[in-house]
Structure 1
Amino acid sequence: MTEQMVDERAAGEPAGRRGRRGIVVVTCAVLLTALLLGHRAVPNVQGLGSLVDSVTPLLGLGVPLLGLAALLRRSRRALLAVLLPALVWAGLFGRAWLPPAAGADGTAVRVASQNLRAGNPDPAATVGALAGDAPDLIGLQEVDDDQRVAPALAGRYPHRTSVSTVALWSRWPIREAHGVDTGLGWDRALRAVVAAPPGDLTVYVVHLGSARAGHTATRDETVTALARTVRADPAERLVVLGDLNTATTDRAFTPLTRLLGDAQAEAGQGFGFTWPAQVPLTRPDHVLYRGLTPTTAGVVHTPDTDHRAVTAGFRW
């Protein structure tokens, strides 16, 4: 169809119809903008609010779809409307894609965290891939059997401690360690003090309660319990490694963000999604901190597990 024919067709279109052209796209753009800005106002009934919070970064995918629809409708008004959610999304999440301001210079300690997956057929291969990045400390969750992990770590990490299904492997001596109650009825978290060369570092390795569709109460309670424990901890320098079963955009995460910094947000690039491992759509795995300066943060795709690993570097 030639440009002249398009113009003639548009000119022959009734004025009322031309006025309504693109109205569906405009409406969708306004609704998308409202959801981006007000996702935490969605009632958290049966975990709905938490779910919407967690997928909010992915709502940006709606922008190019609406832009394409506006082009197909040949509507300038619709195209202008699509700019609104685009600008809001960029304001909310665009910073995550900027190069981090911090550099690796001066990094004193490198940490990593990995959910191994219960029933992992080859956990040694999983942690072996992670150890290849040479972190100083490795926190593990869903550890079925430490002895299956030991062949890949024991030589480089002579110090270890574990509680139930969480474990910490360290290049440096561990001064003390004990289980941490997060309200599950059994300890699925530990606290250890590591004698790092620059000074003592308190490390939590944590696997919080699971969140399921329609049921987030247990997860929410464990987040609150962990926040209460961290708030009362007198340690000057502290890191939390683990699968917290919640995204940073989730309102349930707020008790922790009030107390701790997020290494990925401060020293990483991108959202750092970790789950599911093949096509990550959210980030339940975290490295949180206080009393340190993050220098690096990233994600490592390891084999035989359903979570990607998270890493971070810090200087004193």
Structure 2
Amino acid sequence: MIVCLLAVLLAALLAGHRAVPNVHGFGSLLDSATPLLGLGVPLLGLAALLRRSRRALAAVLLPTVVWAALYGGAWLPPAGGAGPAAIRVASQNLRSGNPDPAATVDPLAGSGADLIALQEVDDDDRVDAALRQRYPHRAAVSTVALWSRWPIRDSTGVDTALGWTRALRAVVAAPGGDLVVYVVHLGSARAGHTATRDETLAALASTVRHDHAPRLVVLGDLNTAPTDRVFVPLTRLLRDAQADAGQGFGFTWPAELPVTRPDHVLYRGLTPTAAGVLRTPDSDHRAVTASFR
């Protein structure tokens, strides 16, 4: 009986997690952790087997089906567009105080990325020395920066209501025409303290909504999981490269054992051909990558 009850509760939580009130950010935290609730399914299945209960096993099918309907598609072969990639991007939170940022960015350059977006850059000289030969064009504001193989025709800081500028907008002369690139590091979110993050995400969504560039990508650490209800304003405006052309959840944090994905490549006006995650040294985040045509 207990296993059946827990199975029904788990299925209800999976299906209705966004109905849980977002008091002190609890609902947002639950949204972010929802994909991991699937770990409860094998535990309940094991309990049902130990009890030798067919009724309990049948009950465990309910959360299994709900989880598969919500997240099983992430593990299917990616449905990215066919054809060679024309634009490759990578984004990395370097980690403030990184002892060797040059070592962190080296795998990004080695991935063949044409554009590299970085957050928590507090040692421009070492990073620039590692990248400038392959990426001669650079735009930076505060602790976010963009390195590009192609000319950057314009760049400006972007106000995300953080109190200090921690985002930029650049116009890159990419193949096929101008590409608008946002490099963003939104406000931090902690258990019970998501208000700053929520305000910065709403500000970014408003900025993107009023940006009429036909080809646009947002790269960065948004401190928001794609399953979080506060992420919806952005998903109404942009597509998620990992969801469209990657495989799996694409978790990036913490780097040693990722359990969530605050790092994103969002886009419009392009066709993704691939997306994924790249392990890099000396950072507490893994990098995200994507290719487009």
Per the normalisation by structure 1, the TM-score is 0.92
Q: How many angstroms does 1:186 deviate by?
A: 1.1
Q: How many angstroms does 1:104 deviate by?
A: 5.6
Q: How many angstroms does 1:106 deviate by?
A: 2.7
**From 105, 114, 124, the counterpart of 1:136:** 114
Distance 2:12 2:220 in 1: 33
The answer to whether the aligner puts 1:121 opposite 2:92 as a matched pair is no
Q: How many angstroms does 1:81 deviate by?
A: 0.3
Distance 1:134 1:108 in 2: 11
The answer to whether the aligner puts 1:273 opposite 2:251 as a matched pair is yes
Q: How many angstroms does 1:151 deviate by?
A: 2.2
Distance 1:104 1:194 in 2: 24
What code does the residue aligned with 1:163 have? V
SS at match of 1:209: coil
| More off after superposition, 127-136 vs 163-172 | 127-136
**From 191, 194, 204, the counterpart of 2:169:** 191
Show the counterpart of 2:140. Answer: 162
What code does the residue aligned with 1:157 have? Y
Q: How many angstroms does 1:56 deviate by?
A: 0.4
Show the counterpart of 2:16. Answer: 38
Show the counterpart of 1:248. Answer: 226
Distance 1:104 1:125 in 2: 33
Show the counterpart of 1:57. Answer: 35
Which sections of structure 1, spanning at least 5 residues, go unmatched? 1-22
CA contact (8 A) 2:222 2:263 kept: yes
CA contact (8 A) 2:138 2:152 kept: yes
Show the counterpart of 1:287. Answer: 265
Q: 1:116 to 1:142 in 2, by over 3 A?
A: same
SS at match of 2:111: coil
Show the counterpart of 1:27. Answer: 5
**Deviation >3 Å, runs of 4+:** none
Residue identity over aligned pairs, in percent, reads 79
Distance 1:274 1:82 in 2: 30
CA contact (8 A) 1:104 1:296 kept: no
Show the counterpart of 1:218. Answer: 196
Q: How many angstroms does 1:105 deviate by?
A: 2.0
Distance 1:193 1:245 in 2: 24
Show the counterpart of 1:149. Answer: 127
Which sections of structure 2, spanning at least 5 residues, go unmatched? none
What code does the residue aligned with 2:54 have? R
Q: Deviations over 1:230-259 (max 9, x none)?
A: 000010000000000000100010110010
CA contact (8 A) 1:122 1:304 kept: yes
Distance 1:167 1:151 in 2: 14
Show the counterpart of 1:83. Answer: 61
Q: Across the two proteins, how many residue pairs are aligned to each other? A: 293
What code does the residue aligned with 1:286 have? H
Q: How many angstroms does 1:263 deviate by?
A: 0.2
Show the counterpart of 1:101. Answer: 79
Give the superposed CA RMSD: 0.7
CA contact (8 A) 2:215 2:269 kept: yes
CA contact (8 A) 2:81 2:271 kept: no
Per the normalisation by structure 2, the TM-score is 0.99
Distance 1:104 1:287 in 2: 19
Say which one has the larger Rg.
1
Q: How many angstroms does 1:131 deviate by?
A: 1.1
**From 194, 202, 206, the counterpart of 1:228:** 206
Distance 1:234 1:265 in 2: 23
**From 40, 44, 47, the counterpart of 2:25:** 47
Show the counterpart of 1:3. Answer: none
Distance 2:82 2:144 in 1: 28
